[in-house]
Structure 1
Amino acid sequence: MAKLVSKTYGDALFEVALEKKQLDEFLDEVKAAQTAIEENKELFKLMSHPKIVKEEKIKIITDIFTGKVSEELVGLLRMIVDKGHFEQVDSVFTYFIDEVKEYKNIGTAYVTSAMELSDAQKAAVEKRLLETTKYVKFEMHYDVDSELIGGMVIRIGDRVVDSSVRTKLYDLTRELSKIQLKAGECAS
């Protein structure tokens, strides 16, 4: 259900942004609204409170965002509140942002390595990703996991490239156990 909500509203906003040729403006507004909502936990509690009537919630959203973001985004927020989906507003915004990135061929890569990568290594990883994917730009996110032992794991969307030593050792162990099982079966 949540995925359907984020897709429905996210697609609607994306289509309006394309139609109005204001993709970048809408992207900036959505990021700003997302940050404002994330940073204001009280607003989220207020909008989720069951004793506050829907009309009052819509008025609150209208008062907060009118004049700060486009009428279209205010309208979308009002509709989300009206339909009782405010808890999923973050997923709607995230879906929209991802759609814009995909449309502009901007990839998001999560790189986990065994140790901190130097700037030159980071540049080399990004260069290689640009050469081997359809993307023209990447938002890179780096993380360190010493349990990888060596190598790295790169995730772009639902694709994962795992060249870590930990995974190679795990795969080797599995292969060896299969061989031992087959050898044991032959001896019987």
Structure 2
Amino acid sequence: MAKLVSKVYGDALFEEALEKQKVDALFEEVKSLQTIFATNQDFAGLLDNPKIAKEEKAGIITEVFGGRVSEALMGFLAVIVEKGRQKEINAICDYFISTVKEYKRIGVAHVTSAVELKEEQKAQLLNKLLGTTSYQEFEMDYHVEPSIIGGLVIRIGDRVVDSSIKTQIHELRRSLLKLQIS
């Protein structure tokens, strides 16, 4: 249900951004909004409080964000509060941000390696990804995980390329277990 809610509201906000030709501006505003909600848990909790009437919540939104964000984002926040969807605001923002990134052909690559990659290796990997995908740029997220022993695990969206030694050993083990010695 939460995925459906984030898609419906995220798509509506994206369509609004396209229609008003404010994709970049709204993209930055939504990222800032997401940061505000993430760093101010009390504020998010206040908007989720069932004892506070929707009208009061709308007033709080207007007081906090009025004149500081675009009309489109204010309208979006008003609808979220009116429909009682403030609990899903983070998921909606995530969906909107990922939709804008796809629209702008910005990929997000999560790279796991056994050791810290050198800058030269990172540049080579980025160039390889740009050359083999339809993305025009990438946001690279690097993690070090010694348990993979060697190689890389690259995740872009729902695609995973796992060339880690750990996985290769696991696959070899599975193959050997399937063999029957006569």
Interval containing the TM-score (normalised by the shorter chain): over 0.9
Equivalent in the alignment of 2:166: 166
Equivalent in the alignment of 2:147: 147
Query: SS at the partner of 1:135?
Result: coil
TM-superposed CA distance for 1:50, in Å, is: 1.5
Q: What is the CA–CA distance in structure 2 between the aligned matches of 1:92 and 1:73, rounded to whole Å?
A: 13
Query: How many correspondences in the alignment?
Result: 182
Q: What is the CA–CA distance in structure 2 between the aligned matches of 1:173 and 1:37, rounded to whole Å?
A: 46
TM-superposed CA distance for 1:110, in Å, is: 0.1
Equivalent in the alignment of 1:136: 136
Computing the radius of gyration from Cα coordinates, the structure with the larger value is 1
What TM-score does the superposition give when structure 2 sets the normalisation length? 0.98
TM-superposed CA distance for 1:61, in Å, is: 0.9
TM-superposed CA distance for 1:58, in Å, is: 1.2
TM-superposed CA distance for 1:89, in Å, is: 0.2
Kindly report structure 1 stretches of 4+ aligned residues shifted beyond 3 Å: none
User: Is 1:76 equivalent to 2:57 in the alignment?
Assistant: no
Query: SS at the partner of 1:74?
Result: helix
TM-superposed CA distance for 1:39, in Å, is: 1.1
Query: SS at the partner of 2:179?
Result: helix
Query: SS at the partner of 1:120?
Result: helix
Q: What is the CA–CA distance in structure 2 between the aligned matches of 1:170 and 1:91, rounded to whole Å?
A: 35
TM-superposed CA distance for 1:48, in Å, is: 1.1
What TM-score does the superposition give when structure 1 sets the normalisation length? 0.95
Q: Deviations over 1:95-127 (max 9, x none)?
A: 111011100110000000000001101111111
Q: What is the CA–CA distance in structure 1 between the aligned matches of 2:127 and 2:101, rounded to whole Å?
A: 18
TM-superposed CA distance for 1:71, in Å, is: 1.0
Equivalent in the alignment of 2:103: 103
Query: SS at the partner of 1:69?
Result: coil
Query: SS at the partner of 2:15?
Result: helix
Q: What is the CA–CA distance in structure 1 between the aligned matches of 2:159 and 2:175, rounded to whole Å?
A: 24
Q: Deviations over 1:110-151 (max 9, x none)?
A: 000000001101111111000000001000000000000000
Aligned residues: CA RMSD: 0.9
Amino acid in the other structure paired with 2:89? V
Unaligned 5+ residue runs, structure 2?
none
User: Is 1:157 equivalent to 2:157 in the alignment?
Assistant: yes
TM-superposed CA distance for 1:63, in Å, is: 1.2
| Residue identity (%) | 54
Q: What is the CA–CA distance in structure 1 between the aligned matches of 2:67 and 2:119, rounded to whole Å?
A: 41
TM-superposed CA distance for 1:83, in Å, is: 1.0
